[in-house]
Amino acid sequence: MNTTQLTAPGAYPGLHLQLHDSGILQITIRNDKTLNSVGADAHRALTRIWRDIDDTPGIRCVLIHGEGRGFSSGGDYDLIEDMSRDFSTLTRVWKEARDLVYNVINCSKPIVSAIHGPCVGAGLAVALLADVSITAHTARLLDGHVRLGVAAGDHAAIIWPLLCGLNKAKYHLMTGEPVSGIEAERIGLVSLTVPDDELLDRAWTVANQLAHGSPTAIRWTKYALNNWLRQAGPTFDASLALEFLGFTGPDVREGLSSLREKREPNFADDAPV
């Protein structure tokens, strides 16, 4: 693939791409109506783009951020409902969710994420799997799986314990309590945090530093370090399977209804296992 094909308008729905002269590919997550939520087309795009970036010459670094008031509010409700009702949709999105994580891990080009506002779902997976993750102080990182009524799959089991330790990971993933940008840096969940008005400037500084370094040295360092994540592959695969098993049960329907109705959920009193 060449850069013209990669950056062609509409090639990746929900994403705007711009390749700068420095070799930095800027990816902006865009969905004005729903705070950059990720629908079916955008989820597919966010999955496959990393393999295409890996195969495209001329890209030295990637900078990804959200447009407007936040990074991404996660999967949209229509997609979640389709997953809970249709087996074909469920299995397709399961494969995309698996591939998204492994594609980011295996993309040889360094990735910088600039996180502001809400950061949830597939957006959070990309943001935290980036090689350098930078938050605005007021960013709000949230893994909302348990609030929806499914296990914390996606990226959580593969990287949260490695970044912030098992106890902190369990606390936030099992309670669904959000993490501010400042707290995320304090517990080691992200690389850096900066005042809100400095976020993009700092992200560009880091991206430029990576783009002008030795490509082989940086990419091979990333490859070696990401073996820590590859070792956790079986844990991730199990968490993702359990998450998607949950989409076939009653709790996700109650979780989704309660979110749409802006009320507390009334989950089942017990689980069969």
Contacts (Cβ under 8 Å, ≥6 apart) of 21: none
Distance of CA 132 to the CA centre of its chain: 13
CA–CA dist 220, 141 (Å, integer)? 29
Q: How confident is the model over 57-70, as a mean pLDDT?
A: 96
Tally Cβ neighbours within 10 Å of residue 182: 15
Task: State pTM to two decimals.
Answer: 0.95
The predicted-structure confidence for 80-130, as pLDDT tens digits, reads as follows: 999 999 999 999 999 999 999 999 999 999 999 999 999 999 999 999 999
pLDDT of amino acid 154:
81
CA distance 194 to 181: 8
Task: Compute the mean pLDDT over every residue in the chain, rounded to the nearest whole number.
Answer: 95
